[in-house]
Structure formats: C-alpha cells, structure tokens
Structure 1
Amino acid sequence: MPEEDLVELKFRLYDGSDIGPFRYSPTSTVAMLKERIVTEWPKEKKIAPKAANDVKLISAGKILENNKTVGQCRVPFGELPRGVITMHVVVQPSLAKAKTEKKVDEAPKKNVCSCSIL
C-alpha cells in the first residue's frame, strides 16, 4: 500500500495525554485500533482498560463501532490530507462486570422499625 494512502491517528486519553500517532491502513477496523490502544496504554495511568471491550473510541462526536474501518470513520470535511486525526478514548468497564460489582456492593439492608405501643 502506498505511504500516502495510510491514515495517521493519535488517541487522546482522559488526562489530555496522547498515544501515538500511528499510521493505519484505511481497511483497519476500529476493533484493531482498540487492541493497539490496550497494548500501548501507559503503565503509570490510574485508569486503564483491561481489554479492548473496555475502550470506546470517539471521532467527530460519534462513538465508533468495532466492525467499521478507519476509511469509513474518516470525516470527509475538514480533514487535511496527511494531517493527524485525533480520536478520543473513553475507558468504560464492560457492563456485565459493572453489574456484578454493583450487586456485591448493594447488600440487602434490613428495615428495622422501633415502634412502641403505649
């Protein structure tokens, strides 16, 4: 693939720091980008994804779907040729895990009524 066909992306983290930039083929999928983000995630960060499913990518205000390609996610207007595209990264633990943790934290509370009849 010619060098000029590659798309240059960087990933903006919650604290304003970046991962990348890296060059990708327009046929690379969002799922592939997420795998790379997990691999390249800075070790010193307090919040870190454990798996690619914990990562949400946002570009041009839209959450990107795993099966979409980089070429499909490019915004046709406003992107300069050879410019670096910034995608925002949100770490969100998977829903199943969050529900399990919530159930453990929400132990049933006993209702105690201290009533006295005079």
Structure 2
Amino acid sequence: MCGRFERHSALSEFVEVVAGLVGSEPELLPASYNIAPSQQALVVRQSVAGLRAEPVQWGLVPGWGKDSRMTRPINARAETAAERPMFRQAVRRQRCLVLCNGFYEWRRADDGSRQPFHLGLK
C-alpha cells in the first residue's frame, strides 16, 4: 500500500476531469514529487454547484471521530473498506478523486535498506 505519491501535472492537464469543473483556480497547489500523509493533496469532489477541485489534508477522520487530531488512516484495503467501521460511511457517501501522476512503493533489500520505486502511466 502506498505511503507517498506525486502530482507534477497542472490541473489543466487532467483533461477529462477538468472539463466538468466549476469555479476552480488554475493551480490550487504547487506540483510535488513527494506528497506524504498529513500533507495537502489536490482532489476533485462533488459540490452543490458541480465538480470542484480543492486541496485537502491527506488522511481520514471518520464521521464518529471526536478529535480531528486522532490518527488518520491514509489507505484501506479495497476488499474490506465497505464493511470496516472506519471506512464504511466514507465509502458510501464521501468519495473524491485524488489527482496524481504516480505513487511510490518501497522494496527492502537484503541489507535492510529501502529503495523507492515510482509507478505511473507513461
């Protein structure tokens, strides 16, 4: 499961998404090749007026969470997310599209060192 991702393309380069946006600034966040949990990420989500791009903090505070400073999960298993109490309501009602160009997975070498590998489309 990825713990870092990157977005280097401008919002306008996500052509299929941008076509339906309303009232979005051309660049809401600068490009970043190392977006980590708790940092700002650019997402597209539904508003009353239509699709809107906006920056959000990466991590989920569940609806039943009393304290926004609690540990924020950054990912979930697709096989169980719809049933797990932590993610159930978000999966049903609060979806968004995270705009990214790729993500990183880590490989641990025999000597214990870790090497990041970037996965993305060409």
**What TM-score do the two structures reach when normalised by structure 2?**
0.21
The higher relative CO (CA closer than 8 Å, separation ≥ 6) is in 1
Which protein is bigger by CA-based radius of gyration? Answer: 1
Higher strand share: 2
Higher helix share: 1
